[in-house]
Structure 1
Amino acid sequence: MRALVYDPAAPHRLSLGQAPDPEPTPRQALVEVAAVSFNYGEIAFRPADGRPGHVSGWDAAGVVVRPAADGSGPPAGTPVVTFGWSGAWAELRAVDTDELAVVPDGVDLGTAAALPVAGVTALQAVRLLGSLVGRRVLVTGASGGVGRYAVQLAARAGASVVASVGSPARGEGLRELGAAEIVVGPAAMAGRVHGVVDNVGGQQLAEAFNRLADGGVVQAVGMASREPTLIDFEEARTRVDRGRLETFNLATPLGDDLAYLVGLLARGELDAQVGWRGPWERALEAADALVGRRVAGKAVLDLRG
């Protein structure tokens, strides 16, 4: 089968080549992939010592061509969105049936492919902030894939959302998604917040922590800044009372959360914010745009025209 494989000599260590067809376990469905999405982390932090020919990728959507042998999961012919820590960027994917969700009629598979890691990360991180009705929440890196979902989901949960971006241009469209305020970096924000979904790390994470209201919480999701985070906790004690900083880790399996999000998509209550889309032959172009911060939201690659 054709696949985007690990190539140590290629830009982003990524090239379109050939890989063996996957062999599903009894609890896995075999899916013919129609579209995949790139996440910043899986492009920007590709390892230098990967195995040549390995098929990476977390997010894919397609159609079940062989249902799981154990009887779990949907039948052949069902459109699905899928997650796994590898194997997405190929014509065929073997996926655990608790890591997929049925895509309803009317939902484009490319749009659904933008959901798994970014959408579920945002959903789980917002949940971990607790009740948000009438509370103020800060989302850093709000113009990225996770950030745009987090803005929508926090606003949907009743929060007044402050969207922090890297430049005024990166803030375009965020008010339409539910942001009440847009700032260029947490240092530009007035007042305090109950919760933070931080996608940037580094100095912005430290600044966001110091903006917590008493009893507030930061979910440290990503480190797009690629900078270490240095927090002066002696200073923080003079600013924050009982505030918490928590390292976020995605909780799997994702099947139930994916089903919830794809349902929102189907009802027009969530926008997948696909900022770049093209055929997978243009994968390097998509990777360059994503790492270069030229994508507002998600990058999606179509495997079939």
Structure 2
Amino acid sequence: MKALTIDHSAPGHLALTTVADPEPTAHQALIRVHSFSLNAGEVHHAVPEGEAGTVPGWDAAGTVIRAAADGSGPPLGTPVVTVAADGAWAELRAVDTDLIGTVPEGTDLGPISTLPVAAGTALRALHRIGPILGRRVLVTGAGGGVGRFTLQLAARGGADVIAVTSDPAKTEDLRALGADEIVTDLASLKDIEPVHGVVELVGGTHMVAAHEALAENGVLVSAGHISGEGEQFPYGALFGHGRRHNRQIATFYLLDDAVGLGADLTWLAALTVRGELDPQVALRSDWTKVTRAAAELAGRRVRGKAVIDIH
């Protein structure tokens, strides 16, 4: 099969080559990939730091061409959306059936390929916060791929949503996705009404400021670190006496929280097909142009998700 493999001598660390077809285990289905999506973590870290010769990629949508031998998962011919730690950027992919969501027939699989990491992280991070109906939820890095899904799902869940972005030009877009309030100056977070939950996607000073905005018994879910900064909490920030107390910080990584993920992907795909969840596809091209697309995403010039079509 043809695949994009990591080649540190090639532009963008990627080369389109021919490699052996994957051999599914009994609990895996073989998928013919139609489209995959790019994530910030891939273009910043997974590809530049990856092992030469390997096929990268987390998100892919396609069609089952061989059902799992153990009888689990979708049958032959089913359109699906998939996630795994690697292997998405190829014509064929073997995936554990627990990590496969089904997609209605006739769906454009390009936008669906954006769902696993970005929408899956958004959904499960919100679950970690707990009930959000009528509560205030803060989203840092709200203009990124995960952030845009988080705004939509939090609003759908009945939350009052506060979006944090460093780019004032994104204000109207974020309001359209469900944000009730927009914060563009990080220092002003200390003045907002306390929030019940935070989906934190930036790290560094954003995490420190977002934690300070938590109400008593609030939960901050750290689901991204796009800033590349470490966190330094000032003395007293984590005190309980005389302050809002029992404020939690939870770390999150999607593939370490994969139980039931296939069902979540099926639900997210159905929402998308019904027009109730907008993947915000801002760039779409074929895989011969993946290096250019990855550079655009890495340079933060893509306002939404990037989709790559194989055929």
TM-score, normalising length: structure 1: 0.95
State how far apart, in whole Å, the 2-side matches of 1:49 and 1:150 are: 28
Q: Which deviates the most, 135-144 or 289-298?
A: 289-298
> Which letter maps to 1:302?
D
State how far apart, in whole Å, the 2-side matches of 1:55 and 1:151 are: 32
Secondary structure class of the residue paired with 1:34: strand
Please report how far the alpha carbon of residue 236 of structure 1 lies from its aligned counterpart in structure 2 after TM superposition. 4.5
The equivalent position to 1:212 in structure 2, one of 184, 189, 214, is 214
Where do residues 108-187 of structure 1 align in structure 2 (5 Å cutoff)? Answer: 108-187=108-187
Alignment deviations for residues 68-116 of structure 1 (CA, whole Å, 9 cap, x no partner): 1122222221111111111000000011111111111343101110000
> Which letter maps to 1:289?
E
Does structure 1 residue 276 correspond to structure 2 residue 283? yes
- Contact 2:6–2:47 under 8 Å retained in 1: no
- Contact 1:194–1:217 under 8 Å retained in 2: yes
- Contact 1:80–1:102 under 8 Å retained in 2: yes
Match of 1:55 in 2: 55
Alignment deviations for residues 272-292 of structure 1 (CA, whole Å, 9 cap, x no partner): 111211111111111111111
Please report how far the alpha carbon of residue 204 of structure 1 lies from its aligned counterpart in structure 2 after TM superposition. 0.6
- Contact 1:195–1:218 under 8 Å retained in 2: yes
Change (3 A) 1:297 1:185: farther
Match of 1:301 in 2: 308
Please report how far the alpha carbon of residue 233 of structure 1 lies from its aligned counterpart in structure 2 after TM superposition. 4.6
Please identify runs of 4+ aligned residues in structure 1 that moved more than 4 A.
Answer: none
Match of 1:26 in 2: 26
The equivalent position to 2:249 in structure 1, one of 245, 250, 255, is 245
Match of 1:231 in 2: 233
Secondary structure class of the residue paired with 1:301: strand
Where do residues 63-78 of structure 1 align in structure 2 (5 Å cutoff)? Answer: 63-78=63-78
Please report how far the alpha carbon of residue 145 of structure 1 lies from its aligned counterpart in structure 2 after TM superposition. 0.9
Alignment length (residue pairs): 304
Change (3 A) 1:290 1:204: same
Secondary structure class of the residue paired with 1:187: helix
Q: Which runs of 5+ in 2 are unaligned?
A: none
State how far apart, in whole Å, the 1-side matches of 2:201 and 2:153 are: 15
- Contact 2:141–2:201 under 8 Å retained in 1: yes
> Which letter maps to 1:198?
E
Secondary structure class of the residue paired with 2:32: strand
Match of 1:255 in 2: 262
- Contact 2:59–2:115 under 8 Å retained in 1: yes
Match of 2:295 in 1: 288
RMSD: 1.6
Secondary structure class of the residue paired with 2:279: coil
State how far apart, in whole Å, the 2-side matches of 1:291 and 1:172 are: 23
Secondary structure class of the residue paired with 2:300: coil
Change (3 A) 1:18 1:166: farther
State how far apart, in whole Å, the 2-side matches of 1:104 and 1:228 are: 42
State how far apart, in whole Å, the 1-side matches of 2:229 and 2:90 are: 32
Q: Which deviates the most, 4-13 or 144-153?
A: 4-13
State how far apart, in whole Å, the 1-side matches of 2:306 and 2:263 are: 23
State how far apart, in whole Å, the 1-side matches of 2:3 and 2:170 are: 32
TM-score, normalising length: structure 2: 0.93
